[in-house]
Amino acid sequence: YNSQLQRSEKMEIISQLAASVAHEVRNPLQVTRGMLQILEKRHDIPPKSENFYKLAIDELDRASTIITDFLTFAKPQMEQVNELDLADEFKHVEGLIVPLANLQGGRLEMSVPRSLRIMGNSSKLKQALINIIKNSIEAMEGSGVVKIWAYEEREQVVIHIADSGAGMDERILERLGEPYFTNKTKGTGLGLMVTFRIIEVMQGTIKFKSQKGVGTEAMIRFPAARYNETNAEVTI
Ligand code: ADP
Ligand code: MG
């Protein structure tokens, strides 16, 4: 028990540190990217170096994507476990996801009633959800719809996230959450690893159903807050 406690204290320190680093590093990455874009447009670049700018910008984007998979909502402060209303959490997530969906030509249909309450850290939960929804949007090439709905069932809060995207076969399904497992040219293979870890720490479960060419559905279950008082002391 003791060593477990120490481990969770260490995790706490690490994740706070990561949050501050993400916070501080994002800006210089963006500034550097802007400068490179300006330089790229100048006409006096030796022909052999033209490619270097594109490479440099791509690598900066890669760094930003990795930070995004881990720390979209991270705040450099103590992480608290609170009673969360799922509708509030999804409101924030929606604000971030709708522009992304519009950009890719996808649609979002959300039906999350108020007063579905679970225990957790708001930033972490939103990170877990956004990594799933982002995958859905990325799987949809062009038009398509991501449907999100939630309800309470037998002392659990259940969330469904279903897309009409490319789908996955069995071989891919069983590797979800494996670090660095990606099928995208610009993927990190870290999104679902982060998501699985967060859901596990919140004492939830996640299952994927998918059919190639039809779409994918994730189903997440959390203990409803009023049945989960023990959780209140756990840090994630
Ligand atoms: P990344 O998105 O960086 O590739 P993830 O861990 O988020 O890493 O996802 C791993 C892989 O799982 C993706 O590359 C993709 O092949 C597959 N995947 C995840 N979600 C979906 C989905 N909704 N539809 C189709 N494939 C998916
Ligand atoms: Mg992803």
Q: What is the pLDDT of residue 26?
A: 84
What percent of the chain has a predicted confidence (pLDDT) above 70?
90
Mean pLDDT of the chain: 88
Measured CA to CA, the distance from residue 199 to residue 107 in angstroms comes to 25
Record the tokens describing residue 29, joined without a space.
């990455």
201 residue type, one letter: V
Q: How far is the CA of 127 from the centre of ligand 2 (A)?
A: 11
- Residues whose CB falls within 8 Å of the CB of residue 223, separated by 6 or more in sequence, listed in order: 118, 119, 155, 156, 157, 203, 204, 231
182 C-beta closer than 6 A to ligand 1: yes
Mean pLDDT within 133-145: 92
| Residue nearest (by alpha carbon) to ligand 1 atom 8 | 189
Measured CA to CA, the distance from residue 135 to residue 131 in angstroms comes to 6
| Residue nearest (by alpha carbon) to ligand 1 atom 10 | 182
Q: How far is the CA of 135 from the centre of ligand 1 (A)?
A: 5
User: Does ipTM top 0.85?
Assistant: yes
Q: 18-73 pLDDT, tens per residue?
A: 778 777 888 899 999 999 999 888 878 888 887 898 899 999 998 888 888 887 77
Measured CA to CA, the distance from residue 98 to residue 92 in angstroms comes to 10
By C-alpha distance, which of 81, 79, 82 is closest to 14? Answer: 79
Q: What is the pLDDT of residue 226?
A: 81
Residue 7, helix vs strand vs coil: helix
Q: What is the pLDDT of residue 167?
A: 97
Q: What is the pLDDT of residue 230?
A: 53
215 C-beta closer than 6 A to ligand 1: no
| Residue nearest (by alpha carbon) to ligand 1 atom 16 | 183
Confidence (pTM): 0.83
User: Nearest ligand, CA of residue 192?
Assistant: 1
